[in-house]
Amino acid sequence: MTTVRLTDEQWEKIQEFLRQDPNTYVGNEAECRCFVEAVMWISRSGAQWRLLLAEYGNRNSVYKRFARWCDKGVWERMLEYFADDPDMENGIVDSTVVRAHACAAGATKKTVDKSSRRWGVVAVASAPKSM
């Protein structure tokens, strides 16, 4: 899977938003940009957190920061902030770009044949009970 990279213009706009948001801490600019790109990669690819590419950093640290931002509503405010900016349509992730799991997209589901279960076979093979 390819990596997700923000353009410098997109990152400048996101950084401006993050610096004025009271519930976020940007800290090291390069690490924060890498974190935002990691979240975008996870969202766009539909991958599990454990499959996060090593170049994005420690998957557990990225997930914990993502969860904190979710709890604080940072992602929702960011989406509202950039909703009317056409230059940010590829820089913001919403439900139109998030991949669903294969079973949600109509893939066949594996079901277990109940008659093949051990207790099911015994019940089917036994003689009918009558008086």
pLDDT tens digits, 29-47? 999 999 999 998 998 888 8
Given a cut of 60, whether residue 24 has pLDDT beyond it is yes
Residue owning tokens 């008659």:
115
Which segments of the chain does DSSP mark as H helices, in order?
Answer: 8-20, 29-45, 59-72, 74-82, 118-125
Q: Which of 29, 37, 34, 35 is nearest to 90 (CA)?
A: 37
Q: Per-residue confidence at 97, pLDDT binned at 50, 70, 90?
A: very low
User: pTM higher than 0.85 for the full model?
Assistant: no
pLDDT, position 69: 92
Given a cut of 70, whether residue 56 has pLDDT beyond it is yes
d(Cα 86, Cα 37) in Å, to the nearest integer?
19
Given a cut of 80, whether residue 21 has pLDDT beyond it is yes
Q: Chain-wide mean pLDDT for the chain?
A: 78
At 101, the amino acid letter reads H
d(Cα 33, Cα 9) in Å, to the nearest integer?
12
d(Cα 92, Cα 81) in Å, to the nearest integer?
10
